[in-house]
A and B are shown apart, each in its own frame.
Chain A
C-alpha cells in the first residue's frame, strides 16, 4: 500500500511538472532564428514587425472608439493614416521608412490643431514605430 502510494505520488509530481512546463512554454515568447534569411527575407521580417505594431495601433484606436474614449473623426484619421502606411510598406518592404514618414507628416499637417491634439496619442506611436525601424 505504502509503495503504491509513493509511486502514485511520483506520477502526480510528474504530471505537475509536465503542466508547469507546458504553462511556462505557453507564456514564454517564441524565439525566432533569422540567421538563415537572405537580405530580402530580413527586410520582409523587419517590415512585418512594423506592420504588426501598426496593426496594434489600429486595434487600439478601434477599441478606444468603441468604449467612447476616441471620437469617430479621430478614429477615422488614425485608421486612414495607418492604411496609407501599410500601403507604403506593401509597395516597398525594403525601404519604406522615408516615404511612410512623409505620409505620416503630411497627413498630420493636414489636420486641424484640435484634431492633431487628439490623434497624436496614436500618431506618435506610429512615428516611434517607423523611427525605430532599421535600428535593431
Chain B
C-alpha cells in the first residue's frame, strides 16, 4: 500500500517535471511582432550610438557628425 502511494507521488512529480519541460520548450519559439521588431531596432541603434559616443567622450575626442 505504502509502495503504491510512493509510486503515485513519483508519477505526479514526473508528470509535473515533463509539463515544465514541455512548457519551457514551447516558449522558446518567440513570435516577433512589428512593434517588438521596431522597438528592438531602436534600442540597438541607440545602444551602438551610445557606445561610440561614450568612447569618444572618454578619449576626449569631438563627437563625430
Count of interface residues, chain A, beta-carbon cutoff 8 Å: 45
Of residues 10 to 43 in B, which have CB atoms within 8 Å of A's CB atoms? 10, 13-14, 17, 20-21, 24-25, 28-34, 37-38, 40-41
Asked if A7 lies at the interface with its beta carbon under 8 angstroms from chain B, I say yes
Asked if A115 lies at the interface with its beta carbon under 8 angstroms from chain B, I say no
Given A3-B6, A51-B41: A84 and B32 interface contact (C-beta under 8 Å): no
Count of interface residues, chain B, beta-carbon cutoff 8 Å: 35
Q: Are A45 and B59 in contact (CB under 8 A)?
A: no
Query: Within 8 Å CB of A62, what residues of B?
Result: 51, 55
A3-B2, A45-B32 provided; 17 other pairs, C-beta below 8 A?
A7-B6, A14-B14, A14-B17, A18-B17, A33-B32, A36-B32, A36-B33, A44-B38, A44-B41, A51-B48, A54-B48, A62-B51, A83-B48, A83-B49, A86-B49, A90-B45, A93-B41
